[in-house]
Structure 1
Amino acid sequence: MKRPILNFIILFLVGFSINAHAQKEPSKTFAFVLGSWEMQTAKGKIIEQWKHNPDETLSGKSYRINAKGDSLLTETLKIKKIGKDTFYCSTVTGQNEGKETCFKLISTKNKIYVFEDKTHDFPQRIIYQNQGKNDLLAWIEGELNGKSRKSEFRYKRQ
């Protein structure tokens, strides 16, 4: 009987330790996103680019490139600490009067990083999954008009 309780406590502490590490050093925890990522779509490409900043934050930009090669900045991104917590902040072109929306890191399990803002209209969650050196899966999810929605972004390193 003592064995299962001990195993549970060990698993809980390991999970807590991993999440605490992600909260302490986001620039190291999220280093896997650094660089340029591309996703081919029916209408062209989506490019997401990330860099490490001297202040230990990560900043990114997302572009859409149409079939003609014209590019459009769709959002600017940042992973940063606010107080003791780590946040994924997005400023979407043409939305929210140019103000950023921040999603709090709530989970870091199995190379999946979940950021959440339950008060946001859509999405309420932004998730990144580290799939190795050349593959990155991101998705947004939540409810919109009472319906559950999810959009996936399967990126390849450029």
Structure 2
Amino acid sequence: MKRIYFSFVILVLIGFCSKVQAQKEPLKTFAFVLGNWEMQTSKGKIVEQWVQSSDQLLSGKSYRINAKGDSLLSETLQVRKIGKEIFYCSTVVNQNEGKEVCFKLVSTKDKIYIFENKEHDFPQKIVYQNQGKKEMLAWIEGELNGKNRKSEFRYKRQ
């Protein structure tokens, strides 16, 4: 019985330490996004490319590639530390008067990273889920015109 109790305590401590580590170093734990990701759509492809610019900054770009192979930059992305907080910041082409919109990291549980900005029109949440070395799921969600909306992006590593 003592062994079972001791094993349980150890497992709880390991889980707690892992969660604390992820909160202390979210840029390192979010580094799974580094590299090139691609999602096939009916109109072509969506590509995200991420690089680590510094210890405090991950930079990304999102492109749409049509069936002809023409690419169009749709947004520039950053995950960066501002003070003690981590933010996902996006500048979307032809939106928000070219201004960056930032979403605060509010959760890092179970390889799911939730960034939130309740003041933004849509989306209010941007979420990335680490699904291993070759797959990543991202989604945006929130309320738009009084209705809850969600769009998923299933990426494969290239």
**Is the shorter-chain TM-score for this pair beyond 0.5, marking a shared fold?**
yes
Indicate the residue corresponding to 1:103 in structure 2.
103
**Structure 2, unaligned runs of 5 or more:** none
Indicate the residue corresponding to 2:75 in structure 1.
75
- What is the SS of the residue equivalent to 1:89? strand
Tell me how far apart the structure 2 counterparts of residues 27 and 76 of structure 1 sit (CA, whole Å).
17
Q: Which AA in structure 2 matches 1:108? A: T
Indicate the residue corresponding to 1:85 in structure 2.
85
Matched, 1:154 2:151: no
How does 1:31-70 map onto structure 2 within 5 Å? 31-70=31-70
CA contact (8 A) 1:26 1:81 kept: no
Tell me how far apart the structure 2 counterparts of residues 55 and 132 of structure 1 sit (CA, whole Å).
22
Could you tell me how far 1:141 is from its partner in structure 2? 0.2
Structure 2 length-normalised TM: 0.87
Deviation digits for residues 12-51 of structure 1, max 9, x if unmatched? Answer: x928x62x54443333111100000000000000000000
**Structure 1, unaligned runs of 5 or more:** none
CA contact (8 A) 1:26 1:79 kept: no
Matched, 1:122 2:122: yes
Tell me how far apart the structure 2 counterparts of residues 143 and 94 of structure 1 sit (CA, whole Å).
21
Tell me how far apart the structure 2 counterparts of residues 125 and 33 of structure 1 sit (CA, whole Å).
18
Could you tell me how far 1:97 is from its partner in structure 2? 1.4
Identity of aligned residues (%): 74
Tell me how far apart the structure 2 counterparts of residues 61 and 22 of structure 1 sit (CA, whole Å).
24
Could you tell me how far 1:98 is from its partner in structure 2? 1.2
Structure 1 length-normalised TM: 0.87
